[in-house]
Amino acid sequence: MHILLADHHPIFRRGIKCMMKDHKKFQFKSKIDDGKNLISGILEHNPDLLILELDLPNSNGMGSLREIRSIFPELKVLVVSSHPEEIYAVSSVNAGANGYISKTRPVKEIREAFIKVSQGDTFLSEDIKKQIKYRQNGSILKFKKLSIRELEVLSLLSSGKRNKDIAQQLSINEKTVSTYKTRLLKKLNIDNIADLIHQSRLLHITN
C-alpha cells in the first residue's frame, strides 16, 4: 500500500515512517509539504492512502479535504493533525476523511488508525466516540452544530485574523466573512464578537 504523507514537519514524517516500519504493507514513497502541490501530488503519485495535516501551508484545511474527496472519491484519507479532536474529528469525517487522529494520541492508537483506514473502515478515537454518544455539555453541542465553513471562519477569527486575512485564506470576499460572523453570533446566541472569540478559545477552536 502506497502512502502519501502531506505534512510540513520533517520530524513528524520521520516519526510516522519509524512507527510503521514493522508493517511491511505500508510503503512511504512520497511526501507533500505545501498545500499548493496537494492535488498535483496525488495525481502524480496515485497513493492508496493519504495522511493529511489540516494546517498544511497554502491549504484551506477543510476546504482542501472537500476538494480531495470530490476529485478522488476512492482515495482513503486519514487526517493526522494537531487540531483539537473534540471539534475537528467529526467535521473532518463529514468533509470526506475516512478517519481522524490527533498527533497527541498514543503510538498504538495511531497505528490502529492507519490499519483501520487502510482496510476501508472509519476511525475516530474512543474518547471522541464516547463524547459523541454521552457528552451533553450545551456549549460543545452548540459549536458542533456549526458547518465546516463556519468552523473555519471561527477558527481563523479566534486566532486573531482580520476579515481581510480570513477572506484571503478561504478564497471568499470580505462581505461573505462578515455574513459568517453575523451567522455565528445568531447560531451560538452570543451578543458580540469579543464573547464569541472568548468562548471559542476556551474550547480551543483556534488554528
Mapped onto helix, strand or coil, the DSSP state of residue 23 is: coil
Q: How far apart are CA 205 and CA 57, in angstroms?
A: 19
Q: Is the domain of 50 the same as that of 90?
A: yes
The dihedral sign for the CA sequence 109, 115, 118, 122? negative
Any domain includes 89: yes
- Of 132, 162, 177, the last residue of a domain is 132
Q: How far apart are CA 125 and CA 47, in angstroms?
A: 24
What is the structure's pLDDT at 134? Answer: 42
- Of 74, 103, 132, the last residue of a domain is 132
Any domain includes 207: no
Number of domains in the chain: 2
Q: Is the domain of 182 the same as that of 112?
A: no
Which residues span the domain enclosing 190? Answer: 138-202
- Of 74, 101, 132, the last residue of a domain is 132
- What letter represents residue 30's amino acid? S
What is the structure's pLDDT at 204? Answer: 54
Per-residue model confidence as pLDDT tens for the chain (207 residues): 899 999 999 999 999 999 888 888 899 878 999 999 999 999 999 999 999 998 899 988 888 999 999 999 999 999 998 877 877 888 888 889 999 999 989 999 999 999 999 999 999 888 777 665 544 445 566 676 788 888 889 888 888 889 999 999 999 999 999 999 999 998 888 888 888 887 776 555 554
What is the structure's pLDDT at 83? Answer: 79
In CATH, what number is assigned to the domain containing residue 173?
A: 1.10.10.10
In CATH, what number is assigned to the domain containing residue 76?
A: 3.40.50.2300
Instruction: Report pTM.
Output: 0.66
Q: Is the domain of 55 the same as that of 113?
A: yes
Any domain includes 106: yes
Q: Is the domain of 122 the same as that of 153?
A: no
Tell me how far the alpha carbon of residue 48 is from its chain's centroid.
19
Mapped onto helix, strand or coil, the DSSP state of residue 30 is: strand
Which residue is listed with cell 464578537? Answer: 193
Q: Residue 141 burial by CB count (10 A; 0-12/13-18/19+): exposed, middle or buried?
A: exposed
Partnered with residue 76 across adjacent β-strands are: 49
Q: Is the domain of 174 the same as that of 72?
A: no
Give me the DSSP letters along 149-167: HHHHHHHHHHTT--HHHHH
